Structure 1
């Protein structure tokens, strides 16, 4: 039976108690009274009050005089850790959460020449005839992440891509002309996401959003991939987007904020 190691002589009890107060807030305890915080932390009411009001003064907590809530400033504590991580390291745990939430496969990729390259991947089941892992490449024009990345290119770079890339019809649905692809990329820019329905492989549908650098340029793309299990219709496509887009955008926003913290 292991024993709890006692704190060393460098241990700062007041800091530990302050962090305990912050950790007491979670999804089930967004707003709490002084008594709630005291009960969840094991601190006396007087001690909890001192820490709460200190956090209020520092801007990490707000109060209306009765209940207390964390503020967005608390996120900076996490971003200090995230700022030392590479892009794949930043993305991977958020993809895991997104996949668990949506029960679908999630991925992140960057643009490399005419292809996308996967930098992170969480799969719930096999949804393609080929396996997808970190490093897997697909032609950008036929993928949702690729279209998000292509839509973020400056005009001259996009035209160079179109000039040197053969747009093959990988399925009967694949956009395979430069004019049609330009039109679709313009739509992606306007709406801020890409939907690709069975253009890379029959039976595969995906929705992707960009990850932005602090200067607003596109650094990478995130997507959610789904199997098509029913007869297609416009309503089903709209429903597929509605079910995953808010969560995708939320994750993209977190990563963008973390990239900003790295500056």
Structure 2
């Protein structure tokens, strides 16, 4: 009996630089906003890059949060469970990671625009979980969702970890041959962001755990290696990057 394909929780990434922290944009190839053109998508907060005082506030918040968390890190280290703050890697694309933060880059009718709105945590119920799987049996990449049994709120939840019966649904599927690249994005917390590039030149930036990003990129890389000739370690050069 074939093994079930491994699934990883995924969602659209969000900025980590102070100018775009916790924000995301959706762009066409001319960097125009396309949110209002995405069919069936609920309205969301308009994207804007923070000004000087907004960025200053983000820096202050980061410092205060770090100071409040410091005793917890010390206790964890003393108990033998290191929990030092996870840091970002090297800035690679200032235009897409500081000056803007597109998580969808696609022209009219291109593949990235077909990704489901449920991948945006600001638009979906906080109990909804979205996952990605790459199946060997039928050669499809899928995005699925289900409702979690967690209790609490969007900001603090406890319990959970189980699926509400009958809540699972397939939101999106695509043949693996239409994925031409996948790469880890260094400028993310613990390198948990990854970029997936499609045959038509569109792409999306998603996030998961560090382990999940490595797993998804490795799976997608193995399926595209014959197309690109040679695959780098956990990195496939994306097509038509802006």
Instruction: Decide: shared fold, TM above 0.5.
Output: no
More strand by share: 2
TM normalised by structure 2 equals 0.23
Q: Which protein is bigger by CA-based radius of gyration? A: 1
TM-score using structure 1 length: 0.22
Give the structure with the larger helix fraction. 1
